[in-house]
Amino acid sequence: MTVLNEAMNDSPILVLGGTGKTGKRVARQLTERGFTPLVASRSGERRFDWQDRNTWAPAVAGAGAAYLVDSQGENAAALMAEFAEVAVKAGVRRLVLLSARAWEQAGDEAGFAVERAVRDSGAGWTVLRPTWFAQNFSEEAFLRDPVVSGEVRLPTGEGLEPFIDAEDIAASAVAALVEDGHDGATYALSGPRVMTFGDCVREIAEATGRDIRYVPVSPQEYVELVVDRGADRGYAEFAAGLLADVASGSGDYLSDGVQRLTGREPRDFSQYVKDTAGSGVWQG
């Protein structure tokens, strides 16, 4: 039986990126379980900006634990190490980091460096490595907008990925934040089955009653497509690389982190589609 950590129950929990895809869900689920989230973001009442160190100390003030999403930039590891030092000095005793299973698959040194910064902080730590989010299809323009247009062109081929629901990432994070037994652990998180991006598009099409096509393209074609939409070429090449990793089949396996942290099975992609289709987000 998992025992709630009384020290964590007595102190608010900082949620960085608390208005983002996972952060808003972590904050909500913490509240539902009777804990006090301190929601920090660039535009919120409790302001936090990775590029503005003056916001760091006020953001962590009073927190006993923190949910961390890194800056996503080239200096993410250095910023995380600096921030972790500020947080620990302010009394934060537990850090839970959102990382990515893709870093493990690719042996990505930048991703590992961010994780090391948290491990070396002196606080209790847990690292979460989720797979591709189901919510990318509804909450990220690079997938949502093509779905709405009726044609999704991606360099993912027939590569398989066990898409995870962001609600399960949040539930896993909350368990690591407020329960004993997870300090010093790294958990890979996935959904319950592997699917192609084409499979995902077909399920969305069926649920919405729309004609939506998945069209495999080469990484080079994808880069030009994204640039034509107005994106920076560097970003387009980075995105193409991540998506091409899916085509390689490197993500074609399940992980049991959700089960180990929450004691239940993760939600299936079909349930996510059913819950989301009624919102109208995929209607053209």
Give mean pLDDT, residues 53-79.
Answer: 95
Output the furthest CA–CA distance in the chain (Å, rounded): 55
Q: Is the pLDDT at 122 greater than 70, yes or no?
A: yes
- Residue 188: strand, helix, or coil: strand
Q: Which amino acid is at 20?
A: G
Whole-structure pTM value: 0.94
Q: Which residues of 220-239 are buried (b: 16+ CB within 10 A; e: fewer)?
A: eebbebbeeeebeeeebbeb
- DSSP β-ladder status, 65-69 and 13-16: parallel
Q: Is the pLDDT at 9 greater than 80, yes or no?
A: no
State the DSSP string of 122-174.
Answer: SSEEEEEEE--BTTHHHH-HHHHHHHHHTEEEETTTT--B--B-HHHHHHHHH
pLDDT band, residue 208 (cuts 50/70/90) = very high
pLDDT of 108: 58
Dig out the tokens for 212 from the structure: 């939506």
pLDDT tens track for 12-32: 999 999 999 999 999 999 999
pLDDT of 112: 87
Gap between the Cα atoms of 257 and 75, Å rounded: 28
pLDDT of 7: 46
Give mean pLDDT, residues 259-280.
Answer: 97
Residue of 181 and 10 predicted with greater confidence: 181
Give mean pLDDT, residues 34-43.
Answer: 95
pLDDT band, residue 73 (cuts 50/70/90) = confident
Q: What percent of the chain has pLDDT over 90?
A: 88
pLDDT tens track for 162-206: 999 999 999 999 999 999 999 999 999 999 999 999 999 999 999
List Cβ neighbours of 138 (8 Å cut-off, separation of 6 or more).
Answer: 144, 276, 279, 281, 282
Task: Sort residue 127 into left (φ over 0), alpha (ψ -120 to 50) or beta.
Answer: beta
Q: Is the pLDDT at 2 greater than 50, yes or no?
A: no
Give mean pLDDT, residues 84-111.
Answer: 85
Closest CA to 134 of 186, 188, 203, 71: 203
pLDDT of 69: 97
Q: Which amino acid is at 172?
A: S
User: What Rg value do the Cα atoms of the chain yield, rounded?
Assistant: 19
pLDDT band, residue 103 (cuts 50/70/90) = low
Dig out the tokens for 43 from the structure: 């535009």
pLDDT of 187: 98
Q: Are 174 and 128 in contact (CB under 8 A)?
A: no
pLDDT band, residue 134 (cuts 50/70/90) = very high
Q: Is the pLDDT at 1 greater than 70, yes or no?
A: no
Where are the alpha helices (H) located in the chain, listed in sequence order?
6-10, 23-32, 56-60, 76-89, 101-106, 109-119, 136-139, 141-149, 166-178, 197-208, 219-228, 233-247, 257-262, 269-277
Instruction: State the average pLDDT for the chain.
Output: 93
